[in-house]
Structure 1
Amino acid sequence: MSRRPSRPVRLAACALAAGALLTTAACSDGAGGSGAARDAAAERAGTASPAGRAPAAQPTGSPSTGPVLTESGAKAALLTEGDLEGDWNQVQDADKWRDQLLVGEVDVSDFLTAKTDASDCQELLDGLYGEKLLGEPSGPSAVTGFEQGDSRLLDQVADYDRAGLDDRLEWMASLPQKCDQFTATDSGGEKRTVQVTEASVPDVGDAREGLLVTVQGTSDGSPATLSLDVAVVRVGASALAVTGGGLDGDQADAVEQGVRQGTDRLKTVLDGGTPSPQPTPMT
């Protein structure tokens, strides 16, 4: 999976406070970046009619109109071990995963000219820690997780308010600029450096966004870097979010594969089918 190289760590003299360990991929105009969020906005806005011509009739009804995700469908859309290459083992407590390296208060002094951006960076850390990056689902949801060594991969599928989901994708697209690099301080006074950069997402689904978040701090008294690849894909009013990484480094390849297979499974469910026990061959 291709990714623009992360910006070099820049330690601001005024804020040598370390940021929370987390990898976020910056969004761009590339195939899987912030352009997808703008595509979603354009889809909602529509296009202008030529002068002198009556505007085309716009569909009525809720923008969420379409296939409805059920509780059983959300569970069926989740990834399985067969969908992932490598030695990923499915776990039973993925809904209880909470990485303490993501806990911390964002240092507002880092944002000398745009202090309001600090709230977005805090929301990013809180969303990653609480596994609510897209906000609260408006309908059924399901989650599963996998472990491989010291790395983890989390897969979430849920139904959302369509307009709110598109707004959330646009928010994610803004984070690499708003939260390029900042510091966060935990309750014990430990400072962590957080970087948020762009990550590409396969051209699947109706809209998509990706982030790479890295957090530099300490673990058990030793220097450590937590890297997280985050990829979100919207299909109608539903979405899947795949997050992979850990202290062993990011898991970009596993996240890409999870996104491709997960999107295919979600589409199958929304079309009224049952995902195959055998993963779809990747192209």
Structure 2
Amino acid sequence: MRVLAAALAAGTLLATAACSGGGDSPGAASGTASTVAERPPAAQRTTPSSTPGGELTKAGARSALITESDLEDDWNLVKDPSTWRDSLLLGDVDAAEFLTGRSDAQDCKRLMDSLYDETLLGSPSGASAVTGFEQGDSRLYYQVAAYEKADLDQSMEWLKSLPSACDEFTLTGGDHGDRTVQVVERTLPEEGEARQGLTVSVKGTSDGDPVTLTLDVAAVQVGANAITVTNGGLDGADHDSTDAAVAQGTPRLTEVLAGGTPKPTPSGVE
């Protein structure tokens, strides 16, 4: 009798399972009972604060900034890099030098203005953070920021056009007379979804003496976010430091967007 009762109970369970989750129809295989069983309890479910390509917060932007340890050589952190301005970059572009006319001249003017006020990719639409470092007469400006995706895409395309559109031109006016400007493309580490590097040199005079301001310019895109680097001075641009900023900074931004917190770079690590 016990054997018979056990068999009847097993048959009842099989029949119940067939009614609730069995059958040949697709809907039956993905029923509510199955969905609930696979979903962990609410206490075990977690929602990351951000995902790759997610929204950059102010705290996240600050966390994504590089430090002195991410750079080579003897860079020192400064308190307020937003006050940096070099008047050698100010002036009007001599449009008469351009074969294609006014359009290219306007692009070159935009480049010089954006280098002066550190708006290389335009104004951020979301969170942003900046930091800066000095080494002798050279300065390195580093920004992490969120933008409108379409605007950022256009800005990256604009940067890519500059070595061809601008190449070499004359900057007039200002306090330094006529200056010769050269824009040369340079290769950056393979980081981010898109990247563009430039070296911009401005030859002119300061207090009657000939000077050359050389700046490395780098922009790396990660979704609707980007890092920008401007590095150089009257003593030239340290290309290795520009590359280090890109190579160390882009993974930090990517990790922040994935909901993580980058660990500090150990002192002495290149």
TM-score (norm 2): 0.78
Shift of 1:188: 4.1
Structure 2 unmatched ranges of 5 or more? 1-51
Quote the RMSD (CA, aligned, Å): 1.6
Shift of 1:227: 0.5
Correspondence for 1:187 = 174
Q: Is 1:94–1:145's contact at 8 Å kept on the other side of the alignment?
A: yes
**CA deviation profile, 1:28-73 (whole Å, cap 9, x unmatched):** xxxxxxxxxxxxxxxxxxxxxxxxxxxxxxxxxxxxx931100011
Distance 1:113-1:268 versus aligned 2 partners, 3 A rule = closer
Correspondence for 2:110 = 123
Q: What residue identity is the alignment partner of 1:121?
A: C
Structure 1 counterpart of 2:202, from 215, 228, 239: 215
Distance 1:189-1:249 versus aligned 2 partners, 3 A rule = closer
**CA deviation profile, 1:72-91 (whole Å, cap 9, x unmatched):** 11111111111111110000
Shift of 1:101: 0.8
Structure 1 unmatched ranges of 5 or more? 1-64
Q: What residue identity is the alignment partner of 1:166?
A: D
Q: State the secondary structure of the residue aligned to 2:102.
A: coil
Identity, % of aligned positions:
58
Structure 2 counterpart of 1:154, from 114, 135, 141: 141
Structure 1 counterpart of 2:58, from 54, 71, 84: 71
Give the whole-Å Cα distance in 2 for the aligned partners of 1:130 and 1:247: 18
Give the whole-Å Cα distance in 2 for the aligned partners of 1:171 and 1:189: 27
Structure 2 counterpart of 1:170, from 145, 157, 171: 157
**CA deviation profile, 1:144-199 (whole Å, cap 9, x unmatched):** 10000011111010001111111111100101111010001123470000000111
Shift of 1:279: 5.3
Q: Is 2:70–2:245's contact at 8 Å kept on the other side of the alignment?
A: yes
Q: State the secondary structure of the residue aligned to 2:217.
A: strand
Q: What residue identity is the alignment partner of 2:109?
A: Q
Give the whole-Å Cα distance in 2 for the aligned partners of 1:279 and 1:268: 17
Larger radius of gyration, structure 1 or 2?
2
Q: State the secondary structure of the residue aligned to 1:116.
A: helix
Distance 1:279-1:155 versus aligned 2 partners, 3 A rule = farther
Q: Is 2:78–2:133's contact at 8 Å kept on the other side of the alignment?
A: yes
Structure 2 counterpart of 1:100, from 87, 90, 106: 87
Give the whole-Å Cα distance in 1 for the aligned partners of 2:174 and 2:112: 15
The number of residue pairs the alignment matches comes to: 218
Normalized per residue, which structure has more helix?
Answer: 2
Give the whole-Å Cα distance in 1 for the aligned partners of 2:190 and 2:139: 24
**CA deviation profile, 1:229-256 (whole Å, cap 9, x unmatched):** 1111011111000111111111111000
Give the whole-Å Cα distance in 2 for the aligned partners of 1:188 and 1:160: 34
Matched, 1:274 2:261: yes
Give the whole-Å Cα distance in 2 for the aligned partners of 1:218 and 1:201: 30
Matched, 1:135 2:122: yes
Higher relative contact order (CA 8 A, sep 6+): 1
Q: Is 1:261–1:279's contact at 8 Å kept on the other side of the alignment?
A: no
Correspondence for 1:90 = 77
Structure 1 counterpart of 2:219, from 218, 232, 237: 232
Q: What residue identity is the alignment partner of 2:146?
A: D
TM-score (norm 1): 0.74
